[in-house]
Structure 1
């Protein structure tokens, strides 16, 4: 069994000009790629297996991330099935000089754990042993159900 808090991963990507669109803000495809990578890390940390993306449950781009800021990405597993792993992903725009952050993007990804033959394999049971973990899990379930 793996606890939710053990799956929590935070990562930063510095937004460079090559990540930007013609409005000098991060191209949405780059944000999605970064989120997918961090989400897969969380799913693999949870399952102990290689995980591949199976589904993206909507991708809400609420505000842009300008060149020069960082994309601060948080991911954690909040639910698991037999071979599937649900991960909540939140991206925030972060100004490293002021440490100011604001949410820019949120999504819910489903990954599938695979074995050496690229076939689905079982994942452990998810446990939640802290109040913080329970709060994160409840937020994820509410958000996944459309209460963003």
Structure 2
């Protein structure tokens, strides 16, 4: 048996990575990424890492401390990295960092950071307990 093929004993990943291309329909009149689109991508990354950790339905309870540092321009790549930094009984705090990359030059800059609180729910929509972070 191939031990690497057995995923039943593996721990949930504490990190999720997404890569998005900034197309014209994602931008404002200045040719930069809409703030709302950036938040949607960040929330999606937070959702993925929280779902993988909890192995339950999760919802966003709060977004906080979102900082738009530099604009992301049309044609750039946006790489999002979401990490769980705290776990409570049913909630997880997820920090998300978005980096803009020029695909032609390779220039990369952290453009947006934020923190999201995600809550795990049971089948009745009630907050449910989740595992602690792996040691």
> Do the aligned residues in 2 keep the contact of 1:3 with 1:126 (CA within 8 Å)?
no
Q: Does 1:60 align with 2:29?
A: no
1:48 and 2:33 matched: no
**How far off is 1:71 after superposition?**
1.0
What is the aligned residue count? 126
- 1:16-35 mapped onto 2 (5 Å cutoff): 16-35=23-42
Q: Aligned ranges for residues 68-147 of structure 1 at < 5 Å?
A: 68-128=75-135
Give ranges in structure 2 of 5+ residues lacking alignment. 1-9
The structure in which a higher percent of residues are helix is 1
C-alpha distance in 2 between matches for 1:31 and 1:42:
17
Give the greater-gyration-radius structure (CA): 2
2:44 to 20, 34, 37: 37
**Deviations 1:46-98 (CA, angstroms, capped at 9, x unpaired):** 11111100011221000100000011100011110000011010001012233
- C-alpha distance in 2 between matches for 1:38 and 1:93: 15
Q: Tell me how far apart the structure 2 counterparts of residues 52 and 123 of structure 1 sit (CA, whole Å).
A: 13
- For structure 1, list consecutive stretches of 5 or more residues without a partner in the other structure: 129-148
C-alpha RMSD over aligned residues: 1.4
